[in-house]
Chains A and B, each alone.
Chain A
Amino acid sequence: MIVRQVLSRLLQALPTLVGVAVLVFVLVRVVPGDPIAMMIAPGASPDDIARLRGLYGLDRSIPEQFAIWAGRALAGDFGTSISLRQSVMSLVLARLPSTLELAVFATVIAIALGTALAVFGVRHRGRLGEAATDAATGFALSVPDFIWALLLMLVFGVLAPLLPISGRLDPSVDPGFVTRFYLVEALLRGRVAVAGDLVAHLLLPALALALPLAAMIGRVLKSSLAEEMLQDYVMLARVKGFSRWRIILGEALRNAAIPAVSLTGVQFTFLVGGTVLIEKIFSFPGIGNLAIDAVINRDLPLIQGLILVFALMFIVINLGLDLVYAALNPRLRHG
C-alpha cells in the first residue's frame, strides 16, 4: 500500500518537474547575456563564435533546443558544463552527496535542538526555565543564518579554534571511499577517526543552518505541546502514575509533533536552499557552492541541471513528509 502511495505521488510530481524544466530552459535563453562570450578569448573571429554556438546547439530555435536537451536529459545526459568542461551529471553526482549529508545533519540537529527547547520549556512552564527558552528562541530567530554562520566561524573556528572552518575533510586524510557519502560510509566501515573528522567539518555549517530552524521548531512545538498537555489523555496518564517526563515524551510529544513536522518539511526545502550560501561561506564542496560558481560563470547547462536537481529534491522531500505524517497520525493511515 505504501509503495503504491509513493508511486502515485511520484507520478503526480512529474508534471511539476517538466514544468520547472521548461520554465528554466526558456528563462535561461530569453535573458540577455551570452554565455559563449564568456568562454572565448577576446578577438575571436565571428566564425569561431558561430562554431562554438553550433557545438553547444545554441544556433537552433528554442523549441528545437529544448527537444534535444530534454531527450538527452531523459537518457541521463544533462550536457556539458561550459566552465568546467565536464558532464553536468557527473559534476552533480560528485557534489550532491556532501550537500545531502550537510542538509540531513543540519535537520537532525535542528529537530533535536528544537524538541529539547520545546520539551524543556513545557516542563518548566511558568518558571524561569520557560522564560530562558523563550528568550533563546527569540534570539536565534532574529539573527539570519548568514550571520549565524559567520559568528559560529569566528567564535568556534578562530577565537577558540576548536573546529575547522572550511572544507569537508582534512586534506591530509584520503579515505579512499567508494561512495561520495563519506560520513555514511565511514560509519558503516567503522572508520571512527575519519567519521570524527567529517563531523567536525560538518558541525559549524550544520549549526548555522540548524539554529534558526531549531528556534522555529521549538516555538511551534512548544505551543502545540502545551496544548496537548491540557488534554484528557494526559490527565489520565498522570492518574496512571506516570512521571511528567514520561508523559511529555511518551504521550503528548507524538500528538504535538504534527504541526512541527509540517513546518520542518516546508523549512527543510528552505534549508536545502540555504546550503547554497552556507557552503560558500565554509568552502564546503557541495552543489550549493557549485551553483554559485555556475552562476558567476554563467554556465547555462550546469545552472539548468542544478535547478532540476534542486526541484527534484524538493519533490522527494515533500513525498517523505507525507509518509511521516501517515506514520504519526494513525487516523490518516486508515483512510
Chain B
Amino acid sequence: MTVLDIAGLSAALHGGRPVLRDVSLVIGEGEVHGLVGMSGAGKSMVARAVLGILPAAVRLTAGAIRFQGRDLVGLDERGYRRLLGRDIALIPQDPLSALNPSRRIEAQMTDVMRLHLGLSARAARDRALVLLNEVRIRDPEAVLRRYPHELSGGMRQRVLIAISFACEPRLIIADEPTTALDVTVQQQILVMIRGLQRRHGTAILFVTHDLGVVAKVCGRMSVMHEGMVLEQGAVADIMAAPGHAFTRALFAATPRYDRPVEALAPVPAAVLADIAAAAQAFDAGRPC
C-alpha cells in the first residue's frame, strides 16, 4: 500500500520565483526513499511541505501530497496537529538544537505519547524506557533524568530517533539525520535507523546530500536539483547505471574514505546549465 504519494508538487516564493517544480515521488509501506541533492536543491522544501511547515515566504502552487490516500495540501493547522507526531514524525538534522535545553529528556520523550496515545505519565515513562533500549542507550533510567546538554551529540540523536518512533508513525521524515555527527557515530546511527525501520515497518523519506548514506539505507531514490526530480528509481539500478549526467557527476563528487577530498570533481558547468535551462523552460510553460 502507498504511504506517501507526492504528485506534481510545485512551490514558489511570494515573489513568484519557483522553488519546487513538478516533484513527484511515491513511497510504499515500509520503504526507505532517499531524496538526494546538493544544498538548495529543494529536497528540504519537499520534506517541509509534507510536514506542513513551509517557510512563510513559500507557498504551494500545484500538485498534491497524499498521505495514506488523503491530500495534505490545504489541510488546516488543527488537522496537521492530529497527524504530526502520531502518523508522521521527524528525525531532525541537528541533534544539538532540536532538544529543548531547559526540559529533561523524560519530559521531551513522554509529551508526544501522552498527547497522541493518551498514555498516563507512568505508562509513557515505561514506553520511553523501552524506546531508549531500542536505540541502544545504556542506563536509560539515568538518561531520562538528564538535560540535553548532559548528553553527547550521538546520544541526543538516539533520543530524537526514539521520539520519532514513539507513536509508531507510518512515515518518518529523516532530514539529514547524520550530517551533524562524527563519522564513526554516523555509521552506528544509520545502522540503527535501518534496524528500527525494518522492525517497525515504518516508511522513511530520507533527505540527504550523501550518496554513500543512500546506498546504505535506501531502497529507492530521487535525485533533485533546481527544485526538479532529475532521476528516480531503485538505488541499486541507479548506482549501477546512473541515467542523468548530474547523477554521474554527483557520484564523482561523493567523498569516500578511499579517495582524498581534493580528488572530488565538481559538477560540470555544462550539466548545471542544461538543468537551469530545463528549469526555465518549465517556468515559461507554466502560467503563474
A32: CB under 8 A from chain B? no
- Asked if A233 and B85 make an inter-chain contact with CB atoms under 8 angstroms apart, the answer reads no
> Given that A232-B97, A233-B97, A334-B150 are contacting pairs, would A239 and B84 also be in contact in the complex, using a CB cutoff of 8 Å?
yes
B86 touches A251 (CB 8 A): no
- Report yes or no: A251 in contact with B103, Cβ–Cβ below 8 A: yes
Q: Mark B105-118, 1 if CB is under 8 A from A, else 0.
A: 00000011001100
Q: Is residue A68 contacting chain B, with contact meaning CB distance below 8 A? A: no
Q: Determine whether A241 belongs to the interface, using a CB cutoff of 8 Å to chain B.
A: yes
Known: A232-B97, A233-B98, A329-B102. A241 touches B53 (CB 8 A): no
Q: Contact residue range for chain A?
A: 20 to 34
Which A residues, 231 to 266, have Cβ-Cβ distances below 8 Å to chain B? 231-233, 235-244, 251, 254-255
For B163, list chain A residues within 8 Å (CB): 240
- A330 CB–B CB distance under 8 Å: yes
Flag the segment in B31-39, B88-96, B216-224, B278-286 that touches A: B88-96
Q: CB within 8 A of B94: which of A232, A237, A330, A334?
A: A232
B83 at the interface (CB under 8 A from A): yes
Which chain A positions have C-beta within 8 A of B51?
239
Chain A stretch 113-171: residues in CB contact (< 8 A) with chain B? none
The verdict on A229 contacting chain B, using a C-beta distance below 8 Å, is no
Number of residues on chain B facing chain A (CB within 8 A)? 32
Are the C-beta atoms of B85 and A240 separated by less than 8 Å? yes
A36 vs B53: C-alpha distance in the bound complex, in angstroms? 76
B102 touches A240 (CB 8 A): no
Minimum Cβ distance to chain A for residue B102 (Å): 5
Q: In the docked arrangement, what's the CA distance between A240 and B92, Å?
A: 12
Which chain A residues lie closer than 8 Å to B147 at the CB level? 330-331, 334
Q: How far is the CA of A255 from the CA of B101 in the complex (A)?
A: 8
- Establish whether residues A241 and B85, one from each chain, have CB atoms under 8 Å apart when the complex forms: yes
Residues on A lying within 8 angstroms of B by beta carbon are: 231-233, 235-244, 251, 254-255, 328-331, 334
In the complex, given contacts A232-B94, A240-B85, A241-B85, what are 18 additional A-B residue pairs having Cβ atoms less than 8 angstroms apart? A231-B97, A232-B98, A233-B97, A236-B92, A237-B100, A238-B84, A239-B53, A239-B84, A239-B90, A240-B84, A240-B89, A241-B83, A241-B86, A242-B81, A242-B85, A243-B81, A255-B100, A328-B102
Query: What are 12 residue pairs bridging A and B, where the CB atoms are less than 8 Å apart in the complex?
Result: A233-B100, A235-B98, A239-B51, A239-B53, A240-B112, A241-B83, A241-B84, A241-B86, A241-B112, A242-B111, A251-B100, A328-B102
- Chain B positions within 8 Å of A, measured between CB atoms, are 51, 53, 77, 80-86, 88-90, 92-94, 97-103, 111-112, 115-116, 147, 149-150, 160, 163
